[in-house]
Structure 1
Amino acid sequence: MNPFEHCPIYETDHLVFTKVKEEDAKELFECYSDPITKGHMNNDNCGGEWDCPSIDHVRQAINAWNKEFDAGFFIRWSVRYKQLHKIIGTIEIAPIPNTTRFLDGVCQSGILRIDMISSFEDRAIFSGILQIVTDHFYMDFGIKNIITKATTADIQRIQALEENHFIKIENNTFVPFDDYYLKKYSD
């Protein structure tokens, strides 16, 4: 089934991913106005730094993300932490290269972006996200590789990546940036 025709909802015991919507802006403002979160965001190939001084800026971003969804390029989900009934961040899967689209027969790789409120940057939360991603994204998006960024300062994220069998990319041919981890699809 094409995820751009009906955006999937993913769920674990602790997390729920739903397509980001304008009503999420107020809760997501906490994530995108958090200076620590900004230092961990992956803006590679996204057109520079992302500054969100108001909820209206977050609404604009959500509208832009949803236009990309409507055009079939990428999907951004809000991540809700069930126990607190709170949105704690977002995740995105985008095609590599960014001139392709998922399910076009050309795109073999996706870049996973995870933006999380800094107080929720926790190995267990990251691990839960990575488990959902690796359980579903290869098949749902027709890809063989998932890459994601983690700098040496992203200790909790790196621990979760290693626990979920992502390996640090040494000679990165996927994107012209450093600090990426890769997990290839395996049957």
Structure 2
Amino acid sequence: MFDIYEECPQYSGGLVSLRGTVAEDAEELLKCYSDLEAVPFFNSDNCHGDDFHYETLERMLQAIEFWDFSYRNKYFVRWTVILNSTGEKVGTVEMFHRLAEDEFNHYGVLRIDLQSRCETREIIGDILNIARDDFYTAFNVKAMLTKAVPDASQRISALTENGFIPLGKKLMTYDHYFLGKMLE
């Protein structure tokens, strides 16, 4: 069986492509992680106080180093989101197979961090199409959780258009999750 942690695959949609995040992405990704309008939409739940608001290249590089460490230790995969039309690196996507002693054991958790100008229904929908087509199998999950705060209207529209429904309860102690299930 394919192991996503042996070789990080690249994915392409109509608007964006995803490829494993590398240190050379730091300068462009800093535009996302220093974007004060974007930070409230990032999912920093259970990230030990990191809100993903970075102001320096050094801090961005530290984050990428941690993401690489996490990939090598099979904790999660972090991809850079690249606009197909321009080649710009505008954010990241993270996915992992959640292991926990609760009702959401063996669910996937999807995190999407984008520059505020890219926080659109179309771009998020394209990322969700990639996730639907590839992530359930790649991470061996039948359900996927992702966060969308109430102010994230474009994200919520994309989620509902792609079959995600509000979870209606907390994930651990956190609110505002949506649930997507693999089509049988």
TM-score, structure 1 length as denominator?
A: 0.92
Partner of 1:103: none
Partner of 1:123: 121
Q: Alpha-carbon deviation of 1:171?
A: 2.7
* Alignment-mate amino acid for residue 142 of structure 2: K
Structure 2: tracts of 5 or more residues without a match: none
Partner of 1:90: 92
- The CA distance in 2 between the partners of 1:120 and 1:171, in whole Å, is 28
Give the root-mean-square deviation of aligned CA atoms: 1.6
* Alignment-mate amino acid for residue 71 of structure 1: N
- Which of 170, 180, 183 is residue 183 of structure 1 equivalent to? 180
Partner of 1:27: 28
TM-score, structure 2 length as denominator?
A: 0.93
Q: Alpha-carbon deviation of 1:98?
A: 6.4
Q: How many pairs align?
A: 180
CA distances 1:30-54 after superposition (whole Å, capped 9, x unpaired): 0000001111111000111233121
Identity %: 35
CA distances 1:50-87 after superposition (whole Å, capped 9, x unpaired): 33121111111001001000001100000000111101
- The CA distance in 2 between the partners of 1:138 and 1:83, in whole Å, is 27
Task: Tell whether the 8 Å contact from 2:97 to 2:139 is kept in structure 1 after alignment.
Answer: no
* Alignment-mate amino acid for residue 175 of structure 2: D
Partner of 1:147: 145
- The CA distance in 1 between the partners of 2:129 and 2:143, in whole Å, is 14
User: SS where residue 56 of structure 1 aligns?
Assistant: helix
- The CA distance in 2 between the partners of 1:82 and 1:64, in whole Å, is 26
Partner of 1:16: 17
Residue 73, structure 1, aligned to residue 70, structure 2: no
- The CA distance in 1 between the partners of 2:137 and 2:96, in whole Å, is 15
User: SS where residue 84 of structure 1 aligns?
Assistant: coil
Q: Alpha-carbon deviation of 1:110?
A: 1.2
Q: Alpha-carbon deviation of 1:112?
A: 0.6
